[in-house]
Structures are given as C-alpha cells and as structure tokens.
Amino acid sequence: MALDNNVDILSWTYNDPAVWFEFVMDTAREAKKHGIRSLFKSAFFLSKEAVEQLCEVIDVFAISIKAIDEKYYHKFTKGWLKPVLDNTKIVHSKGIHYEISNLVVTGLTNTTENYDKMIDFILEELSPDIPIHFTRFHPDYKYMNYEKTPMEDVVAARNRALERGLRYAYIGNAFEGESLNSYCPECHEMLIERYGLHTFIKDSLDDFGVCTNCGYQTTINHIDRSLASKNWSEEEEERYEKI
Amino acid sequence: MKRFEHQWTPDFFLLHVQANNPSGTGGTLEIVRLLENGQRKSEREELKRDADSHRFIISRSHPLEAKVAIEYPSHLILEVYKVDDRAYYPTESFFVL
C-alpha cells in the first residue's frame, strides 16, 4: 500500500507502537529494503534491548516525555521516568534524528518549573540542537475535568526554551502562529513557515540546511521542496481559482 | 447529491471525515474551500467501490479560509468530527447525513 501510494515514510503512532513492537520491527525492516523510512512516536517506556533493536530500523524518533518528575510518572502513567530518559540518551548516542514532545496538561504540567526541568535535561544530557515541542492537551476519555491547554501556556514554554538556549522549540496541537515556524538560531530569519497542515520552505533555507541570510548551518535536513510551496502567493497561484 | 458545509471557528482547525458506503457502490466526494476574498480551491476524495468507508482529515488551509463544503453522492453517509489532534481517532460526531 505504501509503495502503491508513493509513501516515503511510515509514521508509527496512535496507539503507542510499543504495543505492537514485533510488527513494527518486521514492517520497518521490510520497508527499508524498498527505501521507505520509518518514524516511531512513543512514550518510550521500553527495555534497553528493545530500543537497541529499534535503532537498527527506525530513521526518526518522536519521544514523548510526560514530565521530568518520577511521581508524575507513577501517578499518571503507571510507569516510571528513568527508562524513558535512558532510552532517549541511547538514541542520542547513535546520532539518529529525534525530537522530544512534552504534553502540557492544564492543572498539572503547565508550570515554569516543569518547562525548566525539561529544558535542563536537554541542555545537560542531550544537546541544544534537539527540537522540543510543547503540545497542547485536550480533554478526553477519563481526563475531562481540565480545559484544553491555553495557547499562552505552550507559547510561554516555547519562549522559555528559546531564551534558555534551545535552538528549535515549537508548540503542538496548534495550527497558526509564529511558534509553529522554524527560525535560524543565529539571525532569526524564518526558514520554514507552517499553517494548519501546510508547510512553506523559504528560500532562506538552502537544500543543505544552511540559512542563506547569515550562513548558519542548521540541523534541518531531508528538505523536500516538492512537498511544500514557498509562500502564500505561490500556493494561491497554483491551487486556488478566482470566482 | 448531499452537502455538508462548515464555517471555521477559532477553536478548531481540523475535521475528521468518515464517508460510509453501505451500498458498496463507492463514489467521489468534492471538497471546496471558500476564502473570504472570493477565491476557492477544489479537491477530491475517492471512496472505492466495495470499501466499507473512507476516512480523511480536512485542515483549515489558509488564514482567509472561511468555509469548507463537501458534496457527495446521496447513497453515501457522511460523519464529521471535530478534532484537536490529527492522529486522534474520534468517537462523537457533530454531523451525520
């Protein structure tokens, strides 16, 4: 199906792909033979051995760290924090591309203290080049008593991350605003603009991930301009008709 | 033909659409996005013959996009859900026809 539809990356998510680990391994391995990449989005509560196996076949990891707080993990996830952090370090040590997301839950983790703990972990144990996404929570299933995370909270988290030295910080489950975009860490030129599920790759980002405004080498890679327009004018010209 | 129309509001950017195929005939859904400045964009989704259903996400795609409309064959049944997260599988629709 992926080959028939020219899919070049499989995204393993919802449910957490840890629950069908063997299927993911078999399929990702087979997909790789055909040039199809795999992305693994997970809470990453796995054994070290499982992560080592995944690293052989997965091209991108999206790691969801709920909070840098052992009590939070025990209370809300029934798991514990240390394996998640250790596994993240394993992926980091292998040079595989990964990004971290933190679900900002109203009433629980929408605090500066939580944001700082996440930022500290990345700065001290990983790298300021690792992208972090502060994602809005929405009420669902058994957690209906809290409101959707206010935009101000995730924007504040993202700004805090940038102020403290992380180079790529974003908000998630949000669909407009500058906090979705990618900027040059050096000169702050916009490199990639996002709106809804649309992406615009600007001329300010060359095919090697270099900012053409100041020459800074970003860590943005696998740039495929065929999947995106440059700007709204181009988008409107190509896809919209006047009536 | 039947028609669904939705006016975008600031609180939701995403619609999860499921087209059901009880007769097994399939069909084409025409999706039209209407901008405030008079422009429009058309897209299609195909529900294959013999498929039980077809699901897809519609995201608001332009800052000026005011409405989205779906026209579809009368023998199909459309269910539409508002979602906050494109990867989320919703269970409570706000439109069924």
CB contact under 8 A, B62 and A235: yes
Of the residues B42, B61, B67, the best mutation for testing chain A's interface (the one with the most A CB atoms within 10 Å of its CB) is B61
Who among A173, A196, A243 is closest to B85 (CB)? A173
Res. A178: pLDDT tops 80: yes
- CA–CA min distance B59, chain A (Å): 6
Who among B38, B39, B84 is closest to A173 (CB)? B84
CB contact under 8 A, A243 and B38: yes
Mean pLDDT of B47-67: 92
Whether A136 contacts chain B with CB within 8 A: yes
- CA–CA min distance B4, chain A (Å): 20
- CA–CA min distance A177, chain B (Å): 11
**Which A-chain residues 147-166 have CB contacts (< 8 A) with chain B?**
148
The pLDDT-based confidence of B33 (bands split at 50, 70, 90) is very high
Collapsing DSSP to helix, strand or coil, B95 comes out as strand
- Over residues A114-123, the pLDDT tens digits come to 999 999 999 9
Q: Count of residues for chain A?
A: 243
- CA–CA min distance B40, chain A (Å): 5
- Contact yes or no for A61/A101 (Cβ under 8 A): no
**Whole-complex ipTM:** 0.81
For the record, the structure tokens of B11 come out as: 């609180």
CB contact under 8 A, A240 and B35: yes
Which stretch of A96-100, A166-170, B49-53 has the lowest confidence by average pLDDT? B49-53
Question: Which residues partner with A103 through β-bridges?
Answer: A135
- CA–CA min distance A136, chain B (Å): 9
Who among A13, A198, A242 is closest to B87 (CB)? A13
d(CA B82, CA B18): 12
Over chain A, what is the mean pLDDT?
A: 93
- Over residues A106-164, the pLDDT tens digits come to 889 999 999 999 999 999 999 999 999 999 998 887 888 888 999 999 999 999 999 99
The pLDDT-based confidence of A243 (bands split at 50, 70, 90) is low
Whether A173 contacts chain B with CB within 8 A: yes
Searching chain A, which residue's CA lies closest to the CA of residue B32? A240
Who among B38, B41, B87 is closest to A14 (CB)? B87
CB contact under 8 A, B57 and A197: yes
Predicted structure pTM score: 0.91
Cα A176 to Cα A58, A179, B66, B73, distances in angstroms: 30, 8, 15, 33
Closest-CA residue to A65 (of A17, A140, A135, A8): A135
- Contact yes or no for A170/A133 (Cβ under 8 A): yes
CB contact under 8 A, B41 and A197: no
